[in-house]
Amino acid sequence: MFVTPAFAQAPVSATDPFSSLLIPMLLMLAIFYFLLIRPQSKRAKEHRERMSSVRRGDTVITSGGMVGRVTKVTDTSDEIEVELADNLKVRIIKSTLMDVRSKGEPVKEQA
């Protein structure tokens, strides 16, 4: 005969769509965790530690952009007293501080 009989191929097993999407999603979650979530939580932890270790005489920067010198810190309260100018003292909540500079720490240069 001139025409050969066509042989059917073996049926291809259908893959589970849930398992084919699971691996890329887990990979994306791992990438987001290591590139975004972990560094942000690390910075937040360092910021909390710096704010909790404020001492008298440190220079602080508030979230409003004011720079002052710490004159009074109490362990029982979340408030500190900051001198913004001569004879101008204000009470500030520690969580509103942006940065704490020690007495001898130089100013950081912006990049």
What are the residue ranges spanned by the domains of the chain? 53-101
Q: Taking the complete model, does pTM exceed 0.85, yes or no?
A: no
pLDDT, one tens digit per residue, over 78-101 is: 899 999 999 999 999 988 899 888
Helix (H) or strand (E) holding 88: strand 88-93
State the pLDDT confidence band at 21, using cuts at 50, 70 and 90: confident
Highest mean predicted confidence (pLDDT) among 5-14, 15-24, 77-86, 94-103: 77-86
Assigned architecture for domain 53-101: Roll (2.30)
For residue 72, the one-letter residue type is K
